[in-house]
Structure 1
């Protein structure tokens, strides 16, 4: 996450904790910042690309049909049948992963 965002977040939490109407101690600032920072990164779509379910779904959507087009085949099916199956399966799986990732995403992958 961007250091400027972390700094701004820490300053905002510090200012809030310093208020008389907020029942928090100054030693609570860092744990609060640590807890909130990953959520801010996710909300701002600032997580690394490899932690994005949407990105992974898009990669699958592109990679599987590409493998079929490159002629990845098996002895059981002829190349044309396998290509058609890979293209259909890749599009279906990639699309489903993309949708699932977008609907279920609460935090970046690997941040729990």
Structure 2
């Protein structure tokens, strides 16, 4: 998952060093988010989260926050028992991973934006 900083007018905001935190927003299944949840933006204003996972099947959203900026919430996505089983058995298919770090997760927007 990536988070891109955007202006209130939805233009790119290329600024390095902003700390972006990702957390579960909608969590009806009671899942736990693991992985690196705080990442600094690069020179293009993009924070890349490459190792996030949620341990319980269900439908979730993720929320991205950064001090002084408006937060953003991802589109809803679903984690299935099959995707958890494949990961537990070591069948991680890097390169075919769904958004938000889960195998076989449905397609969701790859970028969530925080407004500056």
Name the TM-score, length of structure 2 as normaliser.
Answer: 0.21
State which structure, 1 or 2, has the greater radius of gyration over its C-alpha atoms: 1
Greater percentage in strand: 2
> TM-score, normalising length from structure 1?
0.22
